[in-house]
Copies of this chain bind each other. A is one copy, B any other.
Amino acid sequence: MPERTVEIDIRKDLFGANEEAAAMNAATFKDHGITAIDIMGSVGTGKTQIIEALCDRLKGMYRILMIAGDLATTIDADRVSSHGVDTVQINTRTACHLDARMVRVALNDVDLSLYDLVFIENVGNLICPAGYSLGVDKKVVVVSVTEGPYMVRKHPLTIKRSDMVVINKIDLAEAIGVDVDSLVNDVREVDARIPVYSVSAKSDTGIDRLIEGLGL
């Protein structure tokens, strides 16, 4: 079970205030020496699975907090909690993304001196979360071969607004009939500077390289 479940009323959140709240979050993270990473991507791409794999590797080295964003349920926070990591669940009810003020509400609710690494799992959605800064060090987008061959080409803005692309579930590429190299090339065509990591969180492939890429 997560440490807390925070219910957010989006009607109180104004779009224009997001950048301000993001800057405040960034300052808060910096003050506490915390590295914060926003993990975006559609439902079912394996964001939670990747966070679980990262936590298993990193929990001896970092004091980790995971903040999970979902419209409903505490499924993701519960999964990560079971790895011995503290979690906070944000339920956005109708909102299709986290914004900086929701994260601020969650941060105000925990003792940040207890942590030095925060994973924020955004609401499962390949589009909207990319438009909202949360004040993190890195925005990572997770795509999965199970999304088929077109998700990168169809979402160039999400890719451009990310600091890193993770292609997950490469173990299923053959069964699904999706070519991983061609997805990597699609990312390069959108922006050749964005690092791409191909992984299978399930079969624990590529996680060490991903950790290096994240600078952790």
Contact = CB atoms under 8 A, between A and B. Distances in A.
A127 interface: yes
Number of chain A interface residues as a range: 35 or more
Nearest to A128: B96
Given A42-B147, A96-B96, A146-B146, A154 B70 contact: yes
Interface string A121-138: 001111110010000000
Nearest to A146: B146
A112 interface: no
A71 interface: yes
A72 B146 contact: no
Given A43-B147, A44-B148, A176-B172, A124 B154 contact: yes
Contacts of A58: none
A46 B176 CA distance: 12
A71 B131 CA distance: 14
A121 to B, nearest CB: 12
A193 interface: no
Contacts of A44: 42, 146-148, 150-151
A206 interface: no
A29 B47 CA distance: 41
Given A43-B126, A44-B147, A147-B44, A72 B154 contact: yes
A182 interface: no
A156 B92 CA distance: 12
A82 interface: no
19 contacts: A11-B11, A42-B43, A42-B147, A43-B147, A43-B148, A43-B150, A44-B150, A46-B148, A70-B154, A71-B127, A71-B154, A72-B156, A72-B157, A75-B153, A96-B125, A124-B154, A125-B126, A146-B146, A175-B175
Given A43-B126, A73-B150, 13 more contacts: A42-B44, A43-B148, A43-B151, A43-B154, A44-B146, A72-B153, A72-B154, A75-B153, A94-B131, A96-B96, A96-B127, A96-B128, A124-B151
* Complex A-B, nearest 4 residue pairs according to Cβ-Cβ distance, in ascending order: A44-B147, A146-B146, A44-B148, A96-B127
